[in-house]
Amino acid sequence: MFGMVPASYPQKASSTRPIRLPPVKITVVIPTFNEAANLPKLVGSLYALAIPSLHILVVDDDSPDGTGDLADQFITEFTGRFSVIHRSGKQGLGTAYIAGFQRALLEGAEVVIQMDADFSHPPEKLPELINTLKNCDMVLGSRYVTGGAVDERWPFWRRSLSAFGNWYARAVLRFPVRDATGGYRVWRRETLLGMPLEAVKSNGYAFQVEMAYIAYKLGYTIREVPFYFADRQWGTSKMSFAIQREAAFRVWGILFEYRHLQRMVSELPQ
Ligand SMILES: Nc1nc2c(ncn2[C@@H]2O[C@H](COP(=O)(O)OP(=O)(O)O)[C@@H](O)[C@H]2O)c(=O)[nH]1
Ligand SMILES: [Mg+2]
């Protein structure tokens, strides 16, 4: 540890200079299921941002299109800056993120980012999102604040459903987050450590709502940064009717399960 040098240790003149601490470790967690057409491009775009200490952690659910094997190749190409969690089959977005967060925290990440693999979350927005985290506990990329938008090619029903879903979550949970279902987010390590991650049960859009609600209810400060959500160009969406139905019902479950959130958190292992 810094500052633990024994008194008898020979001191060089240079050691009187202030120590430059390395930049904090930033881990981008990317869940993938059949994203072979997107992952290599996304990895290239993320490293091209030249953010110091940027680490990528892919959570792949044994994608039939070989995304997991592709990801493995990056481990040697970007030694020490790329890792992969392989899971045994499609288990859903929520559990993929929880597994990714836990690994990122274990490996010392100070900033943890969640991002889809399909370029709906523009990599070039990442520096602004990370910068915003300096003044709050969690940053949300937001389609529903001034300056944000969803792809105009989205059919009317999909836009309406997304807007309605956000309104509904806000109304039921009585919290002010504008884009509660969005999945482009930046977390401080301490924020995630202060949350009962083991208790999070939702798996699709409801997972995003559940995480944002817990953070809000615990009093963490949240800032929303507008971005343009472009629809995916390659591959297909994995979000199904079942996931939308889960979201509609889970909102009530979330309201009920976290009614004693403070007590739940005080019982978390230290
Ligand atoms: N590991 C894992 N990733 C998933 C699963 N379902 C979706 N994803 C990933 O989660 C991200 C968002 O999914 P997507 O299909 O683009 O959802 P949409 O943008 O709402 O249509 C993408 O990177 C997907 O590959 C899953 O069951 N397991
Ligand atoms: Mg998508």
| Ligand 1, atom 19: closest residue by C-alpha | 237
- Which residue among 28, 29, 33, 58 is best mutated to probe the pocket of ligand 1, counting the most ligand atoms within 8 A of its Cβ? 33
CA distances (Å), 44 to each of 82, 121, 122, 144, in order?
Answer: 12, 15, 13, 28
The pLDDT, as a whole number, for residue 9 is: 47
Q: Is the CB of 204 under 6 A from ligand 1?
A: no
Q: Is the CB of 31 under 6 A from ligand 1?
A: yes
pLDDT over threshold 70, residue 4: no
Residue 270's pLDDT band (boundaries 50, 70, 90)?
low
Average pLDDT over residues 264-269: 84
pLDDT tens readout for residues 104-131: 999 999 999 999 999 999 999 999 999 9
pLDDT tens readout for residues 204-223: 889 999 999 999 999 999 99
Q: Is the CB of 238 under 6 A from ligand 1?
A: yes
Residue 267's pLDDT band (boundaries 50, 70, 90)?
confident
- Which residue among 238, 241, 246 is best mutated to probe the pocket of ligand 1, counting the most ligand atoms within 8 A of its Cβ? 238
Q: Is the CB of 93 under 6 A from ligand 1?
A: yes
pLDDT over threshold 70, residue 85: yes
pLDDT tens readout for residues 9-18: 444 555 556 6
Domain spanning 26-264: CATH superfamily = Spore Coat Polysaccharide Biosynthesis Protein SpsA; Chain A (3.90.550.10)
Looking from the CA of residue 90, the nearest atom of ligand 1 is 27
Instruction: For helices 241-257 and 205-217, give the axis angle rounded to 10 degrees.
Output: 20
The larger pLDDT score, comparing residue 159 to residue 184, is at 184
Ligand nearest to the Cα of 182, by number: 1
Alpha carbons 110 and 23: distance in angstroms, whole number: 10
